[in-house]
Structure 1
Amino acid sequence: MNYRHAALAAFACIGLFGLAAHSGAQGNQLYTVVDGNKVDPNTMKGFRTWRSAACDRCHGPNQEGMVGPSLIESLKNLSKDEFTKVVLEGRLEKGMPSFGTNPAVKDNIDQLYAYLKGRSDGAITSARVQEMP
């Protein structure tokens, strides 16, 4: 099977099952989404971290920005390392507090990134998600 046939087969599977996934640089799956709002357990932890840290106060309930910037747009350009640094160290000059001392955020930074990256990529189509059965 050549590359083109393999790509077509992959897209056919995605279309059949409504599954969207993104791979990280190491080849690990970053998130899995079905029907735009059903996510894997780790991505669900990211959503819960988003809610518990009240990130929506600045970035809006749909991550589209308010006082803080749109994370839908920011995550199109920020690397995972840059995202982690901003969240854990903050950008006080821009009004972004540090969450490095918040254990819920610090312990779930990868999951938070996965959730927000899924939103930014358009795979997660609703800000509110539910865990896959």
Structure 2
Amino acid sequence: MTQRSLSCLIAWMVGASLSVYAQTPGAADAALADGWRAVRVADCARCHGKDHEGLAAPSIVGFARTQSRERFIAAILDGNPQMGMPAYRGNPLIENHIDDIYRYFAARADGRLAAGAMPGRD
């Protein structure tokens, strides 16, 4: 797959940009959906488990429950190479939707969103 086709695929999967939905009704649902899509494309489940509650790597949901927003975002962007966690700084899919990803996991952590739920779908 070429870089261009990969970029097109990612753009299609991620959907509207923050500036488009930030002013529309349902922006919270759109943010959760964009965060969910970005996490799916990045395939965090391969290490963190199907519901991101731990597998070979710790629970992202638990991490969101116990850490500040700033610490959560730094952990994703900077990674932890010694533990096998890649850094996503420089990855436009993750960087452009880092707040959405945090909102998604915060909603999972506080019970507003159930494991396996697809945000934005009735």
TM range (shorter): 0.7 to 0.9
Could you list the runs of 5+ residues in structure 2 that have no partner in the other structure? 1-25
Cα deviation, residue 61, structure 1: 1.2
| Matched residue, 2:9 | none
Instruction: Map 1:34-53 onto structure 2 (within 5 A).
Output: 40-53=29-42
Q: Which has the higher strand share?
A: 1
Cα deviation, residue 71, structure 1: 1.5
- Within the alignment, does 1:104 sit opposite 2:87 as a pair? no
Give me the CA root mean square deviation.
1.7
TM-superposition CA deviations, 1:30-71 (whole Å, max 9, x none): xx8xxxxxx711110000011011111111110111111012
Contact 2:47-2:55 at 8 Å conserved across structures: yes
Runs of 4+ residues over 6 Å off in structure 1: none
Q: Pick from 86, 90, 93: which aligns with 2:79?
A: 90
Cα deviation, residue 128, structure 1: 3.1
AA of the residue aligned to 2:33? M
Question: How many percent identity over aligned positions?
Answer: 31
Q: Pick from 56, 79, 85: which aligns with 2:68?
A: 79
AA of the residue aligned to 1:113? Y
Give the Cα separation in 2 of the matches to 1:95 and 1:65: 14
Cα deviation, residue 132, structure 1: 5.4
Q: Pick from 99, 103, 126: which aligns with 2:115?
A: 126
| Aligned partner of residue 69 in structure 1, secondary structure | coil
- State the TM-score, normalizing by the size of structure 2: 0.73
- Within the alignment, does 1:56 sit opposite 2:45 as a pair? yes
- State the TM-score, normalizing by the size of structure 1: 0.67
| Matched residue, 1:14 | none
| Matched residue, 2:18 | none
